[in-house]
Structure formats: structure tokens, C-alpha cells
Structure 1
Amino acid sequence: MSNPAQRANKLFVQTFGTLADTLYFAPGRVNLIGEHTDYNDGFVLPAAINFHTIIAIKRREDSQFRAVSDAFPGEMKEWTFGEEGNRPESPEWADYLKGFSSAMAISGLATKGMDLAIVSNVPLGAGLSSSAALEIAFGTAINDANQIQLSPLAIAQLAQRGENHYVGCACGIMDQMISALGQQDHALLIDCLDLDSEAVSIPENLSLIIINSNVKRGLVESEYNLRREQCEQVAAHFQLDSLRHLELADLEAAKDQLSDANYRRAKHVITENRRTQNAAWALESGNISQLSTLMAESHISMRDDFEITVPEIDFLVEIVSSVIGEKGGVRMTGGGFGGCVVALVDHELTDAVVEIVEQQYLDKTGIEATIYLCSASDGAKRLDN
């Protein structure tokens, strides 16, 4: 099969009858540790992955956008810059693009329109942030083609704003930042309070494995927003802006004043922030046994305190852990309620991990897992056409 860049060029010519000016790409991502901490102004440790969204574009002289995607053949979406309309009741793929252009307009930034052809190999619905890859590829294209000179961080902030206010998902900044700022062979420790980031090298002897449980993810958005509300309720109880500023000792002292669910949600976030910072140090220094322990503790916290895992995910973590021991780490990754498991595994154990998943997961669950052997990728950029 032709590569995504060739497919994007071909789709553009087939749709618009002319050659594209330029191509832009942005990666999906996997979060190594630091789950549901980003919207609590905490720490996350994601890596961009070598699955990408590529957009072929041609600038227009008016304010019209026309977009097609190979994932939704036969659909052309059109809108005018600054006239994106109200928040959609049921968001579609193009609403992530409209969200970005709407956020630009509200911020007082101007742009010409574009014709767009979109091709992606970021798996949809797997929790690998196909939406952020789409937003950031589009934002990078608008910024570069119109010479607006926004920084990658500013593009990420506009994309988050669009998703929050136009699409209606109360996501944090992590997905957009790592897609915009990723570095090859590195994870990125992001402080979601001040948006500082620090590249953390991934040791050469570790394989990055993502295992999609292929559990159909139900109620993800409503449960995600509920978790965010619960965290905000605890912060408000302590008269704080976010859980970032709450100490575990203070939470424990006020345990009787909170609902059990809210107490456990806050406990997860506070302890996950510590684990994430410690995991970045462990990864950078090659202390894989400590990384293994921290990822295991993270999974238990997501399972018991934040309550976002499902039995199939727990089983995947259990069987992978039985193979790798302290020679790697494994945990659920993403928003929860299905989706993926991430594992950092010593190269020599990669085949054994694949083998045990293929042997046991289908027998146990009746579902076939999808296994992706990945590498940490660069963030969004223009491609030479």
C-alpha cells in the first residue's frame, strides 16, 4: 500500500482536480504515565508515536474551507472561517477542524481558507488521540501556509480551546501538546500548570508496545466529564484552583468531609502526579525496575480509585506483567473504559509479550487484541511534497 503522504496527494487530486501545495503531518500519542492529571494542572509523560495524520492542502484566496477524509469517503465538509456555527450535538470529524478555526476567530486571528485532503493511520477510537493529531496537523497547516508565526505551544492551546468550547469535550492540554512538540526517541514530561515541558530519553533497549483491547468504549465522554467535575468539586472544597495544589496529608485529614468517590478521585490525581515525576526520573536514568513499580501502581490507582479500567484491560495488564516482571512497565493508558494498554518492555521480551497476548486474551475475552509496535516520533511539521 502506498504511504500516507502519497495517499493524501492522490486523494487531493481526485477530489479537487489539482495538485496540493504542501503536506503537513502530526502524530498520535500514547501516555506512558500520568492519567487524568492534565486537567488538574498536574504532570503527564506522553510520547508521540509513529502513527500520523497527514493533510494535503492548497491555499484559497477566500475564507472557505473544503475538507475530505479517506476515513469518511464521499463526504466533503465546507465552512467559512469565523462562521463555524454553534456547538454540534453529535460531533463529527470535521468539527475538530471547525473547532480550531473557530478558536482562531474568537482569538482575533485571521486566515485564508484552504482545500484539504486528510489521510490518517492513527487508529480511531483506540485512545491514541486521532482527534489531536487531526487538530494539530490542521493548525500547523494554517499557521505555516498563512505565515501567522504561532509557536507549536500556541497551536496546541488553540486546538484545546476548540475541542473544549466547540466540540464540547473538556480535555486537558496533553494530547495537543505532545502532538505539536514530540521528539523522536523521547517522551515529554509536561507540567500542565505552567505548560513547561522537558524531553525524557527512552532507553534504547526498551520496546514501546501498545495493545488495543478492542473493547467498545461506551460512555467515555460522559464519564470523563464526570471525573473532571468530581476533581473540581474536591478542589473547590479546599478553596483551590485545582488538585495540583492539594497535599495528600490535607486530603486524608478531610476524608470524612468528602464523598467516598470524590476522596478516591482526588487521591488518584495527587499520587499519580508524584508517580509521573518519579517515572520521568526513572526512565531518564534507566532505572527500569522502579519504572515497572510506578506503572503498576498507576494501573492499580486507575482501577481502584479512579475506576476507569475494565476487566479486559486489567487482564491484559496482568498477563503482560507476568512476562516482563521488572524488565519493563505496563498499565492502562488513555481516558479509560476500554482502549489500550501501554508497555515499555526490554527488547528481548517483545516476542514473549506478543505471544502471550495472542494466546490468552482471545481465549479469555472472546475479543482479538490489536498489537502495535511503536517508536517515539517527532511532533507536527511540514513535509516536502
Structure 2
Amino acid sequence: MSTVAAEFGALYGAAPDGVWAAPGRVNLIGEYTDFNEGLVLPLALPHTAVAAVSRRDDGVLRLHSADVDGGVVQLDVATLEPPAAAASGASGHGWAAYPAGVVWALRAAGHPVTGADIHLASTVPSGAGLSSSAALEVVTALALNDLFGLGLSRPELALLAQRAENAFVGVPCGVMDQMASACATEGHALYLDTRDLSYRQVPFDLAARGLCLLVVDTRVKHALGDGAYAERRAGCEAGARALGVRALRDVSAAHLSDSLARLGDETIRRYVRHVVSDDARVERVIALLDAGDPHAVGALLTEGHVSLRDDLRVSCPELDLAVEAANAAGALGARMTGGGFGGSAVVLVAADTADAVAAAVVKAFAEAGHTAPGIFPAVPSAGARRVA
């Protein structure tokens, strides 16, 4: 963390007021359910976005990233308006939309944020489906909450960070990523009801059960602002309207077949089937974890991947290969995680087979002519916090 503070000093000529960190996340189960007011089960990763920040009172916002070529982006907080590129002066600095959007969201909600100097560095892989954007948003929101004494709760910060991504960046994401980054705790998965933002910290010590959760980063980059994510959200909302419910959360899994029969559009039918079945899978995984039977979770991961691949159609050849190769090598189960179209998969394995399963995935990628994947264990880690 001292490196980030030192870099801040070199950039801005003084030490920062503080340093904050917010993690990326991996989602164990419950995909595309959060914007349908459903259930999710993410956990925070040890990979974090770190921000060295000082308060300003002159209306100037200065932003710098150690991970993006380019200098300091300087903006006027009074003129921040969505869309970012057109109204905020962030054109040509796409990454700057994330922290700038948080400042805009805080001010739009009536909070007196009068400027800041911010230097950011992140170890969360970008475009890997591990919520690098949410980490940037949440670390910015937490730092400004502390520096300006706003007194906002973690869920309130997550909602403002989500608003920044929805309205300022232009990605219609749900709130899972921001809630996981803001509220997760070490050694636990976050069982989150996205309808009312109630949550429970679920103990997730796989090592004690002789298990390991691997993340396979396919290194295939996705861009969720390209319309595919938005199209699926719109389709889910159309399905809810057609069924006469507020959100797909309200469609009973027990009566799913009857509900699907009422839908005339095959694409919308597929989307509804995925969301309703994945909400049910979250509940089944929670029941298994509460019963002390995490081994049985693997089959539900693979079942979820099939649904994402065939019904939601957000997988890709590299993700499918990661899941197939891992399962063929003896994994208990695997699925893509995140928004899809690239990114990462999660693989549940017996700890003593983790290396062999990882090697099998690497071999399969090489034989298919794909870029070698990055593979690492998902260790449930702490949520956003001040570190200096």
C-alpha cells in the first residue's frame, strides 16, 4: 500500500489523506439473477483495487491510474453528467468514468463531495468477469464517504456505485458486484437477496473439507457495454411483464413449466427459464452449505453452466472448454462466472487434485490453440476497507 501512497505523492506533490482497498469478486452461483431481484452467492477475492485519496474543496477532481497509459485526468465536479464521454470531459479516458461516475452519483444524491485527488492501482484482472469495475467504484465511494464524513452504510455505498455504473458508465448491471465488494467478509460467501439487500455471511472454508475453488481466467476479454448484456436484461424484463410479475424473482420454480407455456417468444422463454432455475440453484447450494455438504455443490455448478450456455447463451468456446476439461479431469463441477462472453470459470475440486485439474485445463487450451489461461485459487477475502 505504501507504493500507492508514494506514487500519489509523486503525482500530486503531497501525501494522501488515506489509502483504501476494495476487492474484486467471484460469483459461486446465481448469474443474471441480481437485476431480476433474485438471489446470488458471491465471495470477495484477495485481488483489490487500491486508492490513495486526498480531499479537495475547490471543485476539482483529479484521477490517475497506475494501470492505464496516460496522465492525470482533471475534471470539474460541478459539470459531471452522464453519459461520461459526452458530458464529463472523460472522453478518451474510459477507465476514468468509474471513479468520476461515483463522484457524480454521490453529488446527485445530495452529498457534498467537493473534489478529490485520486490515484488508483488494481490487481483485479480486467475483463475477466471478476468485477474490476465494481472494485474501482466501491473503493472510490468508501474513500469519499470517509473523507467527507458522509456516514453512508455499506449497502448505500454499493447502491451509489451501481448507479454510477448504470447511469454514468452505461452498463445496466445489477447490484451484486458492488455489494460483494463492499460487504463481503473473510472466510465467507455472501448470500444476498438483491430485492431488499438483506444478506447473510455464509462460512466458506473449503480447505477444511479437503476442497478448493479454482478460478480459470480464459483471458478472453468481454465488454458488457456492447449491448448483449442490456439485451438480456431487457428480455428478462419483458418476460416479467408478460407473466404479470414485478420481476422474475416472483416466478415460482415449482410452476416454471406453466409460466413458460404462457410465453410466445422463444428467446424470452429461454431467459426466464435460466433466471428462475438459477435462483433455485442458489437456494439449493445454500442448503448444501448449511448442511455441511459442499462436495455436492459441484453438480449444481455444472448444471448452472449448461443453463448459461444453452438458455442465456452468454458462454463462449473458451469457457465451455474450461468447464469440459476440468470436469473430464475429475473436478466436482464447474461453470462460467460473471457476465460471460469471455472472462472466467469457477471449478470445484478436491484439494489433492487441484494441480492435475489445472494442468488438464491448460493442456486443453494449448491443444485448441487458445491463449494459456490464468488459474488461481479463490480464497474468500475481506470486503472494502481503509488500509492506511
Q: Same fold (TM over 0.5)?
A: yes
d(CA) in 1 for partners of 2:181 and 2:127? 17
Conserved? CA contact 1:362–1:369, under 8 Å: no
Q: Note the 1:140-155 alignment, pairs <5 A.
A: 140-155=142-157
Q: Mean alpha-carbon deviation: is it higher for 370-379 or for 129-138?
A: 370-379
Q: Note the 1:57-96 alignment, pairs <5 A.
A: 57-89=53-85, 92-96=94-98
Who is 2:88 aligned against? none
d(CA) in 1 for partners of 2:341 and 2:225? 6
Deviation (angstroms), 1:290: 2.2
Who is 2:46 aligned against? 50
1:51-93 CA distance string (max 9 Å, x none): 0000011222322111100012332112222421330357711
Conserved? CA contact 1:231–1:265, under 8 Å: yes
Deviation (angstroms), 1:360: 2.0
d(CA) in 1 for partners of 2:272 and 2:242? 11
Instruction: Tell me: CA distance 1:312–1:198, structure 2 relative to 1, closer, same or farther (3 Å).
Output: same
Deviation (angstroms), 1:309: 0.8
TM-score w.r.t. the length of structure 1 is 0.94
Who is 1:304 aligned against? 310
Conserved? CA contact 1:185–1:376, under 8 Å: yes
**Pick from 186, 189, 199: which aligns with 2:188?**
186
Who is 2:360 aligned against? 356
d(CA) in 2 for partners of 1:258 and 1:88? 38
d(CA) in 1 for partners of 2:366 and 2:383? 34
**Pick from 212, 232, 242: which aligns with 2:237?**
232
Deviation (angstroms), 1:374: 3.0
1:117 is the counterpart of 2:119:
yes
1:346 is the counterpart of 2:350:
yes
Any stretches of 5+ residues in structure 1 without a counterpart?
none
Instruction: Tell me: CA distance 1:218–1:19, structure 2 relative to 1, closer, same or farther (3 Å).
Output: closer
d(CA) in 1 for partners of 2:223 and 2:50? 28
Q: Mean alpha-carbon deviation: is it higher for 34-43 or for 358-367?
A: 358-367
Q: Mean alpha-carbon deviation: is it higher for 58-67 or for 144-153?
A: 58-67
Deviation (angstroms), 1:249: 5.4
The number of aligned residues is 378
Who is 2:325 aligned against? 319
Who is 1:156 aligned against? 158
Matched-pair identity in %:
36
1:348-375 CA distance string (max 9 Å, x none): 1111122112222211233211112231
Who is 2:270 aligned against? 264
Who is 1:373 aligned against? 377
Deviation (angstroms), 1:224: 0.4
Conserved? CA contact 2:187–2:204, under 8 Å: yes
**Pick from 244, 257, 281: which aligns with 1:252?**
257
Conserved? CA contact 2:36–2:249, under 8 Å: yes
Conserved? CA contact 1:21–1:57, under 8 Å: yes
**Pick from 91, 106, 111: which aligns with 2:108?**
106
**Pick from 3, 9, 12: which aligns with 1:13?**
9
Deviation (angstroms), 1:183: 0.7
d(CA) in 1 for partners of 2:197 and 2:20? 24
Amino acid at match of 1:246: V
Amino acid at match of 1:362: A
**Pick from 127, 133, 136: which aligns with 1:134?**
136
d(CA) in 1 for partners of 2:225 and 2:101? 20
Amino acid at match of 1:31: N
TM-score w.r.t. the length of structure 2 is 0.93
Instruction: Tell me: CA distance 1:146–1:216, structure 2 relative to 1, closer, same or farther (3 Å).
Output: closer
Who is 1:207 aligned against? 212
Conserved? CA contact 2:281–2:300, under 8 Å: yes
Deviation (angstroms), 1:263: 0.5
d(CA) in 2 for partners of 1:39 and 1:144? 28
Conserved? CA contact 2:59–2:114, under 8 Å: yes
Instruction: Tell me: CA distance 1:219–1:38, structure 2 relative to 1, closer, same or farther (3 Å).
Output: closer
Q: Mean alpha-carbon deviation: is it higher for 255-264 or for 111-120?
A: 255-264
Say what the alpha-carbon RMSD is for the aligned residues: 1.7
Amino acid at match of 2:113: T
